[in-house]
Amino acid sequence: MKSRAQIKSHPIHPILVSFPIGLFISTFLFNLLGLLFDSSNFHQTAGYLAVAGIGFALLAAIPGIIDYIYTVPPKSSAKKRATKHGLTNVMVVAIFSIALLLAAEDVSLLIITALQGIAVVMLSFAGWMGGTLVYRNQIGVDPRYADAGKWKELYVENAQGDIEVASSDELGVNQMKLIHANGKRIVLCKTEKGFAAFDDRCTHKGGSLAGGALICGTVQCPWHGSHFDVTNGNVKAGPAKEKINTYRVSEMNSKVYISL
């Protein structure tokens, strides 16, 4: 689903992470060259690269945390993966920071380089998980199937009872809108027969249905293709086995309401 930290649908986190990745790997390589050629110039350059890498890593973490909170579907396999991805990166930054402090204390450069080598391996693992989050879980992807219209999202504070979520003419047939209300993620959609609303959570592994496709009253999960009837939540095709939760939708004075 679409990233919350984005510029014109381009997620900012993947743009920024290339800097710390390049800088941390360069830090390790320059220290390695310093050891090979016994040159302090290489080690000095590695020190500057490490400082820059830590700075850019902290910067890249900001949109990453925003997407972790707002974009990655809660209680999903992607949330677990994103948690591991974030924690691994925190450890990488911690190791490079500790290595910097050790270098200032004149600890053996062999030990420092070895530590950074371990961190680079961890960085690769974190990058692998980041790739899975994008290419498999579609975190930050803004897919537009035919006639889906622009991505629509609404945050409602202190929602209770019937909440106003759209105007009657806001959605075309087969279009969806993601509603955040009291920590819940609910999808409002319009079918040929009218409006319907359901949980934005596939019962298979927690995929965001708002990022899927809606056709003839059936929503398809973008992760593994489960199909659900949006009017009663029933599973029409697996791998999901449990139905999704649905909500009562009403229209009044050209406004659409969902009953929580």
Residue 28 lies near ligand FES (rule: CB under 6 A): no
Pick one of 50, 159, 166, 202: the residue that binds ligand FES (CB under 6 A): 202
- Choices 17-25, 55-63, 101-109, 201-209 (CB under 6 A): range interacting with ligand FES: 201-209
Pick one of 24, 28, 198, 223: the residue that binds ligand FES (CB under 6 A): 223
Contacts of 226 (CB under 8 A, 6+ apart): 202, 203, 204, 207, 220, 235, 237, 238, 239, 240
Closest to 256 in 3D by CA, of 158, 156, 170, 167? 167
What is the nearest approach in angstroms of ligand FES to the Cβ of residue 190? 22
- CA 83 to centroid of chain Cα atoms: 10
Pick one of 159, 179, 240, 244: the residue that binds ligand FES (CB under 6 A): 240
Pick one of 86, 117, 127, 239: the residue that binds ligand FES (CB under 6 A): 239
Residue 89 lies near ligand FES (rule: CB under 6 A): no
Which residue, 47 or 207, has its beta carbon nearer to ligand FES? 207
Kind of pairing between the strands at 176-181 and 153-156? parallel
DSSP letter at 209? G
DSSP 95-144: HHHHHHHHHHTT--HHHHHHHHHHHHHHHHHHHHHHHHHHHTT-TB----
The two three-digit tokens of residue 61, written as one number: 């973490």
Residue 204 lies near ligand FES (rule: CB under 6 A): yes
Residue 236 lies near ligand FES (rule: CB under 6 A): no
The two three-digit tokens of residue 7, written as one number: 């510029």
Which residue, 88 or 200, has its beta carbon nearer to ligand FES? 200
Residue ranges binding ligand FES (CB under 6 A) = 202, 204-207, 221, 223-226, 239-240
